[in-house]
Structure 1
Amino acid sequence: MGETITLKSPLDGFEFAAYRARPADARRGGLVLIQEIFGVTDHIRELADSFAAEGYETIAPAFYDRLEPGFAADYSQAAIAKGVEYSQATPWDQVAADAQAAIDALAPPVFVTGFCWGGAATWLAACRCQGLSAASAFYGRRITELNGETPKIPIILHFGKADASIPMERVEEIREAHPDTPIYLYEAGHGFVSDRRADYDADSARLARLRTLALFANNGGGRSSA
């Protein structure tokens, strides 16, 4: 079970909430977990708890707190519309600054992962933030908006082949601009990690998680880090 903490953005001093889950055993490192458009939901908190169980002190910031404190939506059409609205109303400069606040709250090594909107935000953090060791981005449709920026750390990307919201043409745009970035494709649709969604695919979710944990382990995520 985690706790709610408060972070302060270096951009404007705004204080916003975050969910933090600590390892019960030896620590491998820190992890910033970036939400979907739905906010810091039960699903995001459960993911944070699961990464903490793997040894990663995990912080999941509430990136939409300026718009609606405590926003956590369901998967209804109305909720999706509000989540899209909030994602579009949250500037990338602000996202990078808020992510930096979470990174700075963790002892190194620090990693970042994110899903959907958070997948693009993970790419952004890998390009702009300081103090990260590696990143794993899941089905980030808006990464192509940031295609002109280059990650400063090792990063891997995960996409579903049947994801109607991210045509393979978009994935190829990323591959062409960043040929050295590993891109993994799965026999799945959008949101395949979330067991709350119709496109949940247990095998794809398990494989993507294993690849993510291996990336972290190979970039400093060893037992008993400070």
Structure 2
Amino acid sequence: MSRAGETIRLESRADGFAFDAYHVKPGDARRGGLVLIQEIFGVTDHIREVADDFAEDGYEVIAPAFFDRQQRGFEASYDPDDMARAAALSQAALWDQVTGDAQAAIDALQGPVFAAGFCWGGAASWAVAARCEGVAAASCFYGRRISELLDEPPRCPTILHFGKIDASIPLERVEEIRDRYPDMPVHMYDAGHGFASDRRKDYQPDAAHLARLRTLQLFARSGGGRGEGA
């Protein structure tokens, strides 16, 4: 797929730090804006492809490079050394800075604005839904660190996606979320971690398709009608 997007630079609402982001506009009628939040691997070719796909569905997408403070332009592969470096960068990314960066992306988009994220980005999407202004809905994919944020309830409609056989997220953690937020949709899939990414060994096409469909339905119910937010 040819890239339709561009790199832009934004200033964090947390501290004014200038960071890069991948930006792509829809080619057809606009449904709204979307802040797309990376895995620990950075704004990779995969994340840019996901952004392009959402643009095809009518969303203007900004995918911030949340690790630019630690290493500008960071992109990691799935080999063990790269994964260790990526994990270290994710731990160094403070939630206050992350949500400040996300707020800059939200402010750069016309509403309604949504959030979606994967892995580390799944937890970051929860933080964005809880702390940021102007988020209409959020979809969080296999966010292991959501458990750190349970005392901060999302302020917009939010759905969660987890794999039933995800070794990195014990089912007990998922049950903690359900116990705390019984009215929040928590969808479980016959899949492991990273099931929505065709770059991962646990990719599960049926689960990925269903989770994406549920995400688009949430956005549509939350103001993302075709032609709105133009």
Shorter chain as denominator, the TM-score bin is: over 0.9
Is residue 112 of structure 2 the alignment partner of residue 84 of structure 1? no
Residue-by-residue CA offset, 1:64-103 (whole Å, 9 max, x unaligned): 0011110011101011101110011111111110110110
Any idea what SS the aligned residue of 1:112 has?
strand
Partner of 2:225: 222
Partner of 2:203: 200
Any idea what SS the aligned residue of 1:133 has?
strand
Any idea what SS the aligned residue of 1:84 has?
helix
Paired with 2:195 and 2:73, the residues of 1 have a C-alpha distance of: 24
What does residue range 102-141 of structure 1 map to in structure 2 within 5 Å? 102-141=105-144
Is residue 211 of structure 2 the alignment partner of residue 211 of structure 1? no
Partner of 1:150: 153
Paired with 1:10 and 1:123, the residues of 2 have a C-alpha distance of: 18
Any idea what SS the aligned residue of 1:103 has?
helix
Any idea what SS the aligned residue of 1:119 has?
helix
Output the TM-score relative to the length of structure 2: 0.97
Letter in 1 for 2:172: E
Letter in 2 for 1:54: D
Paired with 2:154 and 2:70, the residues of 1 have a C-alpha distance of: 28
Paired with 2:99 and 2:130, the residues of 1 have a C-alpha distance of: 9
Q: Percent identity?
A: 66
Post-superposition offset of 1:223: 1.2
Residue-by-residue CA offset, 1:32-77 (whole Å, 9 max, x unaligned): 0000000000000000000000000000000000111100111010
Paired with 1:106 and 1:139, the residues of 2 have a C-alpha distance of: 25
Post-superposition offset of 1:21: 1.0
Paired with 1:207 and 1:60, the residues of 2 have a C-alpha distance of: 22
Unaligned runs of 5+ in 1: none
Partner of 2:54: 51
Post-superposition offset of 1:12: 1.1
- RMSD of aligned alpha carbons: 0.5
36, 60, 64: which one aligns with 1:61:
64
Post-superposition offset of 1:4: 0.3
Residue-by-residue CA offset, 1:126-181 (whole Å, 9 max, x unaligned): 00000010000000000000011111000000000010000100000111111111
Any idea what SS the aligned residue of 1:207 has?
helix
Aligned residues: 226
Paired with 1:6 and 1:180, the residues of 2 have a C-alpha distance of: 38
74, 77, 80: which one aligns with 2:77:
74
Any idea what SS the aligned residue of 1:173 has?
helix
175, 181, 186: which one aligns with 2:178:
175
Paired with 1:8 and 1:151, the residues of 2 have a C-alpha distance of: 24
Paired with 1:136 and 1:79, the residues of 2 have a C-alpha distance of: 27
